[in-house]
Amino acid sequence: MDRGIAHVRDDIMPSVTQMDGCIGVSLLIDRDSGRCIITTAWDNEDAMHASAERASELRDRAKREFDGEVQNIDEWEIAILHRDHRTHEGACARVTWVRADPAQIDQSIEYYKTSVLPDVENLEGFCSASLLVDRSSGEAVSSVSFDSRDAMERNREQATNLKAEKIREAGVEELDEAEFELAMAHLRVPEMA
């Protein structure tokens, strides 16, 4: 895992961030399960698609360094990004995947912004929150980062209760949830909340 993290930091990130339109790279890892999520962010869809061939090569190299398999390559729209403050070493993230009615995606984004985000900001150790959406499928992923694993563990019960309430109110289906170490967060995405 550490070899893979070093590879992303020292090789992948410099290569990707030099591509036209790239606005950052992040890496989430779960050392227990071995699950990793590498995210690249782009100015626009055209820039993202123009990078596809080179990104595929870098993905293959990362797969070898992590000694793993690539399970999903997803494209998301960054609907919301809100930072209270930047993360630092030791930060962690709780990530929740949901599915909404694709016809209601704009209402779901607004609900997250006006109802979920204000409550999430009050969780102990809150750093930032983002909501990524796939308008065609109605799938969305919320990532909330915290100053430390301890803070994330201490707020787990409160966050779980809050999530259940908000999912019920929003009328969405939870697909998955996982907690990760935020190994890298180098995104130059502007505030979007």
Give the start-to-end residue ranges of the domains of the chain. 2-66, 77-187
pLDDT at position 67, please? 82
Does 2-66 match 77-187 in CATH topology?
Answer: yes
pTM for this model (two decimals):
0.91
Question: In the chain, pLDDT over 90 holds for what percent of residues?
Answer: 76
- Range name among 57-61, 81-85, 120-124 with the lowest pLDDT average: 57-61
Q: Is the pLDDT of residue 175 over 80?
A: yes
Question: In the chain, pLDDT over 70 holds for what percent of residues?
Answer: 97
Domain 77-187 part of CATH 3.40.190.10: no
**Distance (Å, whole) CA 72 – CA 150:** 29
Sign of the CA dihedral running 172, 175, 177, 180: negative
Q: Are 65 and 174 spatial neighbours (Cβ–Cβ below 8 Å)? A: no
pLDDT grade, residue 59 (50/70/90)?
Answer: confident
CATH no., domain 2-66: 3.30.70.100
Q: Report which secondary-structure segment, H or E, holds 78.
A: strand 77-83
Question: Under the phi-then-psi rule, with left for phi > 0, alpha for psi from -120 to 50, and beta for the rest, what region is 24?
Answer: left
- Mean pLDDT for all residues in the chain: 92
Q: Is the pLDDT of residue 139 over 90?
A: yes
pLDDT at position 191, please? 65
